[in-house]
């Protein structure tokens, strides 16, 4: 009795590449269940298989002509973050997005529950993982190049929004070039 679906992007199976224990499997179809943080693949017309997420190293999900690269963060790798995260940029500093869906109880006509998406943005700098709640907090982490970064944002008319995690990518790339 829950409206909507618990999958990232679409409830349809999407083309993907999955790496399990170092072995890469190309051209398979999966759905990424962001409520349970699991990958599901069809094995016949009526049967699906939940892949063991502890064995999955990474996967790339293709949706609307774009590839989304996910890595599996284990329990003890990074404090406060575990499971599959979308790698927006990796380098001297890194930017990750963790997608989730939660359930709003009786949200539809006071009769049905509703899945709703939640995303959290993380910035890795000097081995420290920072949860980003907005533009101001993000820019405070880049304080040593504050003047150059603000100038870059203004010059390029960039709009940075937590609702659009990819809007942070040019700023992180510029920041990495300064370091």
pLDDT, one tens digit per residue, over 120-172 is 999 988 888 888 988 888 888 988 888 899 999 999 999 988 888 999 999 99
Percent composition of the chain: helix, strand, coil (DSSP 3-state, to 5): 20, 55, 25
Q: Alpha helix (H) ranges present in the chain?
A: 135-141, 146-155, 169-178
Contact 93, 124 (CB under 8 A): yes
Contact 48, 62 (CB under 8 A): no
Q: Judge whether 172 lies within some domain.
A: no
Predicted TM-score of the model (pTM): 0.83
Longest Cα pair distance anywhere in the chain, in angstroms?
58
The SS3 assignment for 156 reads: coil
Q: Judge whether 8 lies within some domain.
A: yes
The C-alpha atoms of residue 8 and residue 85 are separated, in whole angstroms, by 12
Q: Judge whether 85 lies within some domain.
A: yes
Overall number of domains in the chain: 1
Q: Judge whether 44 lies within some domain.
A: yes
Span 69-100, pLDDT tens digits: 999 987 655 566 788 999 999 988 999 999 99
Range of the domain at 71: 2-132
Q: For 133, phi and psi rounded to 5 degrees?
A: -100, -10
Q: Judge whether 107 lies within some domain.
A: yes
Q: Judge whether 159 lies within some domain.
A: no
């Amino acid at each position: 009795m829950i409206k909507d679906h618990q999958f990232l992007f679409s409830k349809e199976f999407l083309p993907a590449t999955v790496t399990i224990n170092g072995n890469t499997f190309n051209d398979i179809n999966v759905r990424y269940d962001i409520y349970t943080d699991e990958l599901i693949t069809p094995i016949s017309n009526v049967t699906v298989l939940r892949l063991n997420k502890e064995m999955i190293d990474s996967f790339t999900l293709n949706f609307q002509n774009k590839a989304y690269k996910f890595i599996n963060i284990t329990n003890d790798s990074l404090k406060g973050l575990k499971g599959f995260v979308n790698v927006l940029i990796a380098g001297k500093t890194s930017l990750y997005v963790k997608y989730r869906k939660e359930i709003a109880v009786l949200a539809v006509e006071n009769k049905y529950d509703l899945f709703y998406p939640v995303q959290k943005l993380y910035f890795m700098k000097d081995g420290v993982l920072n949860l980003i709640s907005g533009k101001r907090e993000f820019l405070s982490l880049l304080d040593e190049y504050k003047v150059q970064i603000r100038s870059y944002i203004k010059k390029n008319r960039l709009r940075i929004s937590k609702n659009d995690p990819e809007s942070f990518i040019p700023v992180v790339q510029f920041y990495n070039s300064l370091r």
